[in-house]
């Protein structure tokens, strides 16, 4: 699933390309992707002619603030990513009209939702598994939907003291699980929890209540270093994620631990292990992340 760096990458790309543009039409071959309003024709009626005033992120949600004081919320879920370009239908399938990754990368070919913009561009959602969620919400409903999320880890006011405070409220649980709990802190998932804990030399199974202040500080510093670096590199494309241009992100060259089981740790040379943690995987180095 795209995590904070991938979603933030999409948002920053969109901010450069779609602000001030208006939706003129919308298509889907999977109406269940639209969760609100549930009637697709009503959704189409409400979206057409509306101008994009702002694009921002909250947790893993992409938010388009529109000229009718409503917000288009898109959560890309497991395999979804937004693309910007031009496509035409050939034999019932959408095909990009210009050469490059939009046309050539198979991960960009699962188009299930397309918006036409007023500058002849198209904003499309490619989603292999069709788990993505799209909603058009008024202010009150949006605030209610976003109310359960914890603080943003890269906000300027999210200090070490505030990080300690949110961990103190969630003293039960293994640190990897706590980092991925969106009510504790937003945007971190399987990839970056592994990378952060490796950087901090903390075992993913360590109980949060057992962490010292010095260990919490290492986790905080790792988080504040890795997440911005991943954004700078355009996210991680080891799986389905692509930028709006269809190109891959380049965090892969920085990936130290996630999906590197069986390889040597770049820090100490110990063989990296992968273990199950609830229904997820955790990657760690037994040599420098001792329990």
Give the confidence band of 261 by pLDDT, cuts at 50, 70, 90. Answer: very high
CATH value of 4-146 in 3.20.190.10, 3.30.413.10, 3.20.20.10, 3.20.20.70:
3.20.190.10
State the pLDDT at residue 127. Answer: 97
| The one catalytic residue among 101, 273, 280, 286 | 280
Query: In this model, does residue 65 exceed pLDDT 90?
Result: yes
Query: In this model, does residue 279 exceed pLDDT 90?
Result: no
Domain boundaries, the chain: 4-146, 160-284
Mean pLDDT of 94-121: 96
Give the confidence band of 171 by pLDDT, cuts at 50, 70, 90. Answer: confident
Same fold, 4-146 and 160-284: no
Mean pLDDT of 240-267: 97
60 among known catalytic residues? yes
| The one catalytic residue among 50, 58, 60, 109 | 60
State the pLDDT at residue 134. Answer: 98
Domain 160-284 has CATH 1.10.8.50: yes
* Contact indicator for 121, 128 with CB cutoff of 8 Å: no
Query: In this model, does residue 209 exceed pLDDT 90?
Result: yes
Q: Rounded to two decimals, what is the model's pTM?
A: 0.96
**CB-based burial, 259-288: b 16+ in 10 Å, e otherwise:** bbeeeebeeeeeebbbeebeeebbbbbeee
Query: In this model, does residue 185 exceed pLDDT 90?
Result: yes
| The one catalytic residue among 3, 6, 135, 195 | 3
* Contact indicator for 76, 70 with CB cutoff of 8 Å: no
Query: In this model, does residue 70 exceed pLDDT 90?
Result: yes
């Amino acid at each position: 699933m795209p995590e904070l760096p991938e979603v933030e990458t999409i948002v920053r790309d969109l901010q450069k390309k779609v602000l001030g543009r208006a939706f003129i039409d919308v298509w889907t071959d999977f109406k269940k992707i639209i969760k609100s309003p549930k009637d697709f024709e009503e959704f189409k009626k409400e979206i057409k002619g509306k101008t994009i005033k702002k694009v921002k992120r909250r947790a893993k949600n992409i938010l388009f603030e529109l000229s009718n004081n409503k917000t288009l919320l898109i959560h890309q879920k497991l395999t979804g990513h937004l693309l910007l370009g031009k496509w035409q239908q050939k034999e019932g399938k959408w095909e990009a009209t210009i050469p490059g990754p939009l046309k050539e990368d198979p991960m960009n070919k699962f188009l299930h939702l397309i918006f036409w913009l007023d500058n002849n561009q198209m904003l499309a959602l490619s989603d292999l598994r069709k788990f993505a969620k799209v909603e058009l919400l008024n202010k009150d409903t949006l605030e209610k939907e976003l109310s359960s999320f914890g603080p943003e880890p890269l906000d300027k006011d999210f200090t070490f003291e505030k990080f300690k405070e949110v961990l103190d409220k969630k003293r039960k649980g293994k640190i990897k699980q706590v980092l991925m709990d969106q009510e504790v802190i937003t945007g971190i998932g399987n990839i970056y929890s592994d990378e952060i804990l490796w950087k901090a030399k903390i075992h993913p199974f360590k109980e949060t209540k057992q962490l010292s202040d010095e260990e919490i500080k290492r986790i905080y510093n790792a988080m504040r270093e890795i997440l911005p670096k991943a954004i700078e590199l355009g996210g991680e494309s080891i799986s389905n994620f692509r930028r709006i241009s269809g190109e891959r992100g380049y965090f892969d060259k920085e990936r130290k631990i996630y999906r590197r089981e069986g390889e040597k740790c770049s820090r100490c040379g110990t063989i990296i292990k992968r273990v199950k943690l609830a229904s997820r995987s955790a990657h760690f180095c037994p040599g420098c992340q001792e329990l």
